[in-house]
Amino acid sequence: MENEKLNLDTLWIFDFDFTLYANFFKVNRNYHYQRSPLDGYMDISPVGPIDMIKRPDKMIADFAHFIEITKDAYKYAKPIRMFQQFIKNVSKTDPNIICLTVCNSKREYEMKKNKVKTDYPEIQGVEFVSSAEMKPSAILDIASERYGVQPSNCFFFDDDMRTVARAINYGIHSWTPINLIWIIDDLNSNPEDANALMFKQFIGRE
């Protein structure tokens, strides 16, 4: 594609957990064997929304510990193919695409960065913050300092509704992954649908 067709005035930002990757895991501790952590005395299994509702804080803490003692805590996390294709299509005209995620350690960041590089090659880089509350302000800093992009030209996707709401208050166009699934379906099946028309207007596609 010729360079003059590229739109460099936009920035697309995607969260990692529950957005680029749908999986979350429950940590299973196999006390019976008492082997070293890297040999597998801990393992993980996928969980659904009901499990997350029951004990979310405990699960998040266990998974954070699992990340620290495991060679590849994300090896079972699978990318969302619909989003892979969407990002590939977006990158043809809007190349400024990043992942913004919460990381508690350099080890976690490196695992996520390598995962994104493999599964989403169109994403230019992975940025991290230490808490979800920091994401909107981080987006503003990254957009202005690195890309010269206005908040009104940023498109942010995150699974947490509170984070999405905060980003909207900062003037950033923001949606949840469920919103994106609906939008993609409208763009594919009914391009004249109100949601599809609204989205095309936001990103300058007529």
Q: Which amino acid makes up residue 197?
A: L
**Which has more pLDDT, 166 or 188?**
166
What is residue 11's DSSP assignment? E
Q: Which residues pair with 21 in a beta bridge?
A: 17, 79
- The pLDDT tens digits for 38-59 are 444 445 454 444 444 445 555 5
pLDDT at 99 over 70: yes
Q: What one-character-per-residue DSSP string does 129-142 give? A: ESSGGGHHHHHHHH
The span from the CA of 158 to the CA of 180, in Å, is 10
What is the model's pLDDT at position 199?
A: 65
pLDDT for res 2: 43
The CA-CA-CA angle for residues 145, 151, 152, to 5°, reads 145
User: Per-residue pLDDT for 14 more than 90?
Assistant: yes
Which tokens sit at 59? Answer: 């699960």
**pLDDT (average), residues 123-139:** 95
Average pLDDT over every residue of 97-123 = 93
Burial of residue 155 (number of CB atoms within 10 Å: 0-12, 13-18, 19+): buried
Residues 6+ apart with CB under 8 A from 186: 193, 195, 196, 199
Helix (H, G, I), strand (E, B), or coil: what is residue 45? strand
Predicted TM-score (pTM) of the model is: 0.75
Confidence of residue 102 (pLDDT cuts 50, 70, 90): very high
State the residue for tokens 């590229």.
Answer: 6
